[in-house]
Structure 1
Amino acid sequence: SGLADDCPLTMTPSEIVVRFGDPASVNCSTSATDAVGMGWEAPVGGTGFKSPPVVTWNVEQLKDFTVPSCYISLNVLDEHGNTKQCQKSPNVTLYKTPDTVSVSAVHPGPMVEGTDYQLKCDISSVAPAGSLTVKWYRGNETVFADRIVSSIKTPQDVSSKLNITTKREYNGSIFRCKAELQLGPNGPEFPPSETSAPYTAVVHYKPFIKACPSNIARVEHKFSMDKLPCPAEGNPPPTVQWFYEDKQISSSKPLRRSDSGKYTAVVQNSLGSSNFSVQITVECECILWLIVYFIPI
C-alpha cells in the first residue's frame, strides 16, 4: 500500500456536499501507465476491480456515512515483493437536517423578574453537528449564536442553552431557536435549517402603577376611584385596595365634595406590593338657576 499523497489518482470532484438520501457521484481517474486495475471500496456504490483509467462511484440515495475510497494496483513491486497498491478518498460531507428542534425551560414554571434562567434548544439527529450553528431569537431579534463543537460525522442529538436575566418586558415574549448547517462554499446556496416552535415566556413581577397624576379634580357623584386613569400592572395580576384617612373604601362608591383629600392605593400580588397616593378634589355639580323678573312698564 502507498500514501495517498503519492497515489496517482485524481478525484472529480474532490469535494462534494450531499443531502441525506440524495444521489452522489465521484469519478476516480489515473494517468499512470503501469496501472493494472482500480476500483471503489464503499458500503454502497462499490465497483470491484476494474480496468483503468476511470472508475465511477455512483449512489442513487446516499444514506451511509462511511467515506468511500478509490484504490489502484500498479505493475510495480514494493519492498516486500508485492504489487504496489494505494488509495485516495474524496472529501464527502453527508448532511442531515434535524428530525426535531424544540425549546424548553431548564427549570419549569414561570420566570421571576431579575432571576437568571436558562432556555434549552434540543436538536435531534443532525449531521454533521460540527457544522451546526444554533441561533436564538427573542421576537425577530437575534440574541445569541452558538457554534456546536463536534467531530462526529454521523447523526447525533445536541443541545444549546440560552442564559436570560429576566425582565418584566419579557413577559409574553416569543423565543425561538434555529439549527442552521453551515456547509461552506460547496454546500447549498442557502444554509439548510430547521426552526423550533415558538416558546412564550411567562415572567412574574411585582406590581406597580403606571403613570398617574398626583392631583386630580372631578365632579361629585360622577366619579369613583375605580375610574382613576391609573392602571395597575403585575404578574400575577394584582389586587388593588383604596384607603382614605387610613380606612379602606369601596373603589366603586361615587365621591362627594366632602370626600376630597388624599387617597392611597395598595397594589399587591404574590411577589410583593407597592402603594401610591393621589390628591382628589371633588368639585360641586352646580346648576345655575337664572330667575328673570319682568317689570311691567
Structure 2
Amino acid sequence: MYWSKLLAGALGRGFSHLWFTFSLITGLHWTERTRGLTHSLRSSQLGQTLVLCGTKLGTMGYFTLAGGLLWTVHLLSHLRTTVASPDCSGKEPVIDPPSLVVKYGEPATANCSAQSNATIIGWETTVGAKTENDLQQLVWSVPSVTEWALGRGIECFTSSEKHGQCLTHLPITIYKIPETVTLWLFDHTGPLLEGQEYWLQCVVQSVAPAKNLTVILFRGDTELKRSGFPQFFIEGDESKNVTVATHLSLTASREDHGASYRCAAKLDLNTAEPVPETSSSIQLEVHYKPRMGSPSQNVTVTDGDTLDLICLAEANPSPTYHWTHNNVTVEDENNTTLIIEAIHYDKGGVYRCIARNIIGEGSVEMRLDVVPNYLPWIAIFVAIAIGVLLAGGLCFSRTYHKKNKTGQYLLTKMKRGTSNSGQVAQANGHSV
C-alpha cells in the first residue's frame, strides 16, 4: 500500500481537518473510531481527496485502511498537528443561546447559524450529532439530557472553501438537585454529654455539578460553616453526579439542649430563577448535671414562725432533691420546698439542698438563725405599765382632793339646849 501525500491541518479549537490523497488503490474503506463512535468513509476514485471532519486533536483511536487486496493498516493516532489553522476571525458560527444550563433529565435545544456561505454545517456531540450540506442554520435538540458527557460542551462547525472549517463551542452545564441531604452525629447515637466533643456530618447525595455546590451549616439562623468546592469530601466522578460530605466539630453544652442544627445544599447557577436549596435539620438532646438556681444565703427567723426553704436546679434529666439539717438527712423530703413549722432554737443551723441526676450533682446551703420572740413579753410589760399608771393616777387624784377641798359656810342659830355656843355653821346647806 502506498499513499503519496498526508496533509493534516489544525482548524480551530482542537479539531483537525485531514486530507488523504491516494494514488494506487481504489475502493478504499476508512473507519474512524474515537470516543466510542464509528464513522465510515469511502473513496472510489484513484487520487480522490478524502475529508474527515471533526477529529479531535489528541484523541486516542485508530484508522483502518482496507483495500481490494485486503490489506489493513492500523494507524494509531495521537494526532497533534502544528500547521496553523485558517483565519476564522469573525466567521465563527453563532450559537443561540451562547450557553446552556440544563436540569438532568430535561430537554435541551440550541440553534447554530453560519457567518459565511457554508457548504457544510454540523454539530459534533455525543448525543444528537448531525451534519447538513448547503444550510446556513442547524438546530441541535435532545428530548432528555441524561448523558453526562454533554457537560463538556458541544461544537457547531461550518466549512467553506474560503474560510475552511470554523467552529464555536457551546458550554453546557448539567445540574442535578440533591436526592437527599442528611445531617447526623458521626459515630454517635443517643443524647450528648455536656463538655464532650462530637462531629456533625452533612452528606449530600447525587448532586451535580460539584464545582457549583455550596454546603452551609447553621445553628438556628446563625451560619456556622460554609464549604464550597473543593473544600468538602467528594465521592464519585466530578463530571457526573456525586456525593459530597462536610463536617463540623461540636462541644456539647447545656445551651445546645433543644437547639436546632441545619445543613443546606445550594447550587449556584446562572439560571433565570434560583435553584431551590435542599436541607436537613436535627434537634440536639444534651444531658448535663444540676446547676443551682440561687447561691447560698443566711436566713433569720423568729422563734415560733413558719418558714419555706425553696431549692431549684437546672438539669437534664430532671434531678431528685435531698435535704440535710446540720449534716443529718431530713426524712421523707424529696421536694424542691422544705417547710419548717413552729420554728424553735433547735431548728436553727445549716440546711443543705442537694440536686442529683445521672450526670452529677449540685448543692446550695442556707444558714438559719432563730431569734427570740419578744412580742409577748413586750405586751405584758406594756399592760403592767398601763395598769400601774392607772392605779397611781387614781390614788393621786383622791389624795389631792381631800387635802384641797373648799365650800361656803353659813352661821345659824341653834335651838337652845343643843349647843354651848348656840350657833351652827352650814356649808353648802350641810351642818358642820
TM range (shorter): 0.7 to 0.9
More helix by share: 2
- Matched position secondary structure for 1:130: helix
State how far apart, in whole Å, the 1-side matches of 2:166 and 2:197 are.
58
Alignment equivalent of 1:204, drawn from 278, 287, 304: 287
For the pair 1:3 / 2:87, whether they are aligned, the reply is: no
Per the alignment, residue 262 of structure 2 pairs with: 176
Bigger Rg, which one: 2
Task: Judge conservation of contact 1:134–1:148 (CA < 8 Å) in 2.
Answer: no
For the pair 1:42 / 2:130, whether they are aligned, the reply is: no
Task: Judge conservation of contact 1:69–1:87 (CA < 8 Å) in 2.
Answer: no
Per the alignment, residue 255 of structure 1 pairs with: 340
For residue 255 of structure 1, report the CA deviation from its aligned partner: 1.3
For residue 92 of structure 1, report the CA deviation from its aligned partner: 0.9
Aligned alpha-carbon RMSD (Å): 3.4
Task: Judge conservation of contact 1:210–1:233 (CA < 8 Å) in 2.
Answer: yes
Q: Between the two proteins, what is the percent identity of the paired residues?
A: 28
- Distance of aligned partners of 1:143 and 1:87 in 2 relative to their CA distance in 1, 3 Å threshold: same
Per the alignment, residue 173 of structure 2 pairs with: 93
Per the alignment, residue 140 of structure 2 pairs with: 57
- Distance of aligned partners of 1:232 and 1:62 in 2 relative to their CA distance in 1, 3 Å threshold: same
State how far apart, in whole Å, the 1-side matches of 2:220 and 2:282 are.
10
State how far apart, in whole Å, the 1-side matches of 2:276 and 2:317 are.
41
For residue 205 of structure 1, report the CA deviation from its aligned partner: 1.9
State how far apart, in whole Å, the 1-side matches of 2:223 and 2:348 are.
52
| Deviant stretches of 4+, over 4 Å | 75-78, 84-87, 216-225, 281-285
Task: Judge conservation of contact 1:112–1:204 (CA < 8 Å) in 2.
Answer: yes
Gap regions ≥5 residues in structure 1: 79-83, 291-297
Task: Judge conservation of contact 1:38–1:70 (CA < 8 Å) in 2.
Answer: no
Alignment equivalent of 1:152, drawn from 234, 238, 245: 238
For residue 283 of structure 1, report the CA deviation from its aligned partner: 8.9
For residue 223 of structure 1, report the CA deviation from its aligned partner: 4.9
Per the alignment, residue 395 of structure 2 pairs with: none
- Distance of aligned partners of 1:281 and 1:54 in 2 relative to their CA distance in 1, 3 Å threshold: farther
- Matched position secondary structure for 1:254: strand
State how far apart, in whole Å, the 2-side matches of 1:218 and 1:66 are.
87
2:159 corresponds to which letter in structure 1?
L
- Distance of aligned partners of 1:9 and 1:73 in 2 relative to their CA distance in 1, 3 Å threshold: closer
**Stretch deviating more after TM superposition (276-285 or 92-101):** 276-285
Per the alignment, residue 132 of structure 1 pairs with: 213
CA shift digits 1:239-294 (9 cap, x unpaired)? 32211111111335631303233211222333332322112467999x99x9xxxx
- Matched position secondary structure for 1:52: coil
- Matched position secondary structure for 1:4: coil
Per the alignment, residue 14 of structure 1 pairs with: 98
For the pair 1:276 / 2:364, whether they are aligned, the reply is: yes
For the pair 1:102 / 2:187, whether they are aligned, the reply is: no
CA shift digits 1:55-83 (9 cap, x unpaired)? 111233333322252343524599xxxxx
**So what's the TM-score if we normalise by structure 2?**
0.57
- Matched position secondary structure for 1:66: helix
- Distance of aligned partners of 1:119 and 1:11 in 2 relative to their CA distance in 1, 3 Å threshold: same
State how far apart, in whole Å, the 1-side matches of 2:272 and 2:249 are.
31
